[in-house]
Structure 1
Amino acid sequence: MDAFGPFPPDCPDYTVGLAISGGADSLALAWLARGWRRHVVAFVVDHGLRESAADEARQTIRTLASFGVSAHLLTLQGLRRDARLQEAARSARYAALIEACVSFGCLDLMVAHHADDQIETVAMRSAAASGPAGLAGMAASRELSGIRLLRPLLCVRRDRLRATLDAHGIRWIEDPSNDNRRFERVRFRQDLSDADGLKLWTQANAFGGLRDERAASQVRVLVTDVLWHPSGFFIFPQKLPPADLLATLWRVISGRAYVPGVDVIQKLLEGPGAVTLHGVLLTRTSPWGWILVREPAAVGKSIRATSDGAWDGRWRLAHAAGTSIEGCTIAAIGTAAAAWARDVPGVVRRSLPALWRDGRLEAIPDICRLRGGNFRRVSFQWSGSHRASEGSFWRHDPFSTGKCGWRL
């Protein structure tokens, strides 16, 4: 775990989350994590895809308790049993895990991906003609929305994890889908030879090293040439960053799960002026320089005003003191922005959230200082890939390597 550190003291104020399925890999992770520090909490997901799933989840919680790990059950509902079942289950599982981590105050979530998982991942990406980024496989550390995902077992083979459980008398649950050749990963798992696996593992390490070097270089650019504004946009005062870093920042603003292709970004940059992609606008405006911002025409539809949902996948209602939100909706300010703040470019103002009631602007966000208009103010918190902080400008490292730049 030293590679991911330093960590705060082992105390109740800093609990590390564990994603536990009940299989051998995740139970081995839990057992090892409990030996590393006392204050860990396991989240056991009942995906409801098998009749025995609920009983298996309860059994897993009992197993975790036997070696001192407290656990909480998360239940998934409404998964469709079709060809994309595993992908849908994975997305729903991560969404539930992230929400649980935020609720419990966990900044880090450990998952049990191991060396064999890495080999299978690289094999599938190689078959799909992935480039160097895909062939690097899974990263040992990755930032998600509000948490850091850690994979401390990527250098450990599956057999060693099972041997660890056997040595300590810990029983695990076998998921029959792990042998179902209907799924692509299972086919690769069963068909790969040891020699092929070693070759793919070596390849992943080589490309992974290049990825780490590139990330360190990008952090240096972020520290010197990129600003993040709490209104939810990036500023490039001097010049545009390299295309691969710009693609990463593009994903932050768009809220999409994946980074756009570097070749696509590079082609966009060859144009003469402003460009749009995935609901994100890159444009130049005085006196800011280049800015990367949500395209006003692409923002999400209105939602009921609560503290639960994220409007446009980017903003949550954080505080509405003195303002009743009953019967209100959250929607873009749009052209109503012209009546108030001048602290940010107009294209930014039009894509910010506000409270509306019966088609009338009820309250504006307090992200920008008010310079006109008799409106109440309400606080919104950035809830996209990276959270905004209070204040005017601040620098942010979306890679959060722990070695370069800041982790905020």
Structure 2
Amino acid sequence: MRRHTIEPRPDWQRTVEEQGLVYPLTRYPDDSLRPYWDESAYYSFTLPEVEALEDVVEELHAMCLAAAAHIVEHDRFADLGITDPRLAALIGESWRRRAEQPFLYGRFDLRYDGAGGPAKMLEYNADTPTSLVEAAGPQWFWMEERFPGADQWNSLHERLVEAWRRQAPLLPPGPVHFAHSEADELGEDLMTVAYLRETAEQAGLATEALPVEQIGWDRLSGRFVDEKLRFIRSCFKLYPWEWLAEDDFGPQVLDTLDLGGASGSTLWIEPLWKMLLSNKALLAVLWELYPDHPNLLPAYLDGPRELAHTTGYAVKPLLGREGAGVTLHPVGAPPYEPPAEPDEDDAGDGRVCFQGLAPLPDFDGNRVVLGAWVVEDEAAGLGIRESAGPVTDEYARFLPHVIL
């Protein structure tokens, strides 16, 4: 793994916007606009390196599924902050009937420096991962233009189309609705959903698009409906389950939940059992089940334990995204103090996970994290983000890569 600088293409912004990346710039606190899509540099990998990372990702995914099974079997939902007995029971039933419900994709965030040490799992977003559009399309087209004849760890598009095609028999009659939130000002959620809708259509499925905020509830039939008052029988939503279950219409979501083949209900994609994988408590369960695994970092729910005086630790909200709420505590630093009042937007109600501190590798002053994609149960691609600080946040940049 190496970082290389390169001259950006003359008209790069228009090019990537036409390829679906309508958010190529990020607005910073000083009101300046700087590239989010950053092709002033790229990363190169060897083929054996990528093949080894693919094996790591698929092993981690299998371990995460085993951890989910453990949580359900041993009724450890409270460790995930899931204290509603009804919701816990439905998650458990969704897990047991997962073969009847379509599921699509997820993204592992990995620490990896290419210097010979093992990749380390930082977290797994298996419910609402983004940065998909840029990973699947623009970086592939960039490679074809700048490095014709090279290769890339990127079979995302083909695998997504095939996943829809393979799982189509699990879908109820009628179109698959694709929902995003109107609260997304950048267009990232909109374009992610639009792209996934395109892959479904290429698989031969009928689709409809609508904002989450425009999903209606028909009291007479007891069904969710779209803007044209058609029943929503299946819906891909880029909207976290912890929000969906807790919103004003959460009780209706749970009342009409289709866990496979039920009439008069709604099949949601990703399925409810994905809540088991997109919760940072999973990190602690994994360490408990696979202690000292080379691709895991120590993680606990009850405190930093030995990490306070060995490696230091990161404190992660159980349901945080894009680095929100993450604090780093090196050895010798002041210990973590929980806030007096949990943030009102914190769906995890202040619960956190303590994970061994593994500073992101530094390439010429840039902190790098690998986003390794899984489609169904197979490794499918790579997206790389860089940040100026030690936490990958909303100001991170996306850089393309090649296999040389």
TM-score band by shorter chain is under 0.3
The structure with more helix, counted as a fraction of residues: 1
TM-score after normalising by structure 1 = 0.22
TM-score under structure 2 length normalisation: 0.23
Rg: which structure is higher? 1
Structure that is richer in strand per residue? 2
Higher relative contact order (CA 8 A, sep 6+): 2
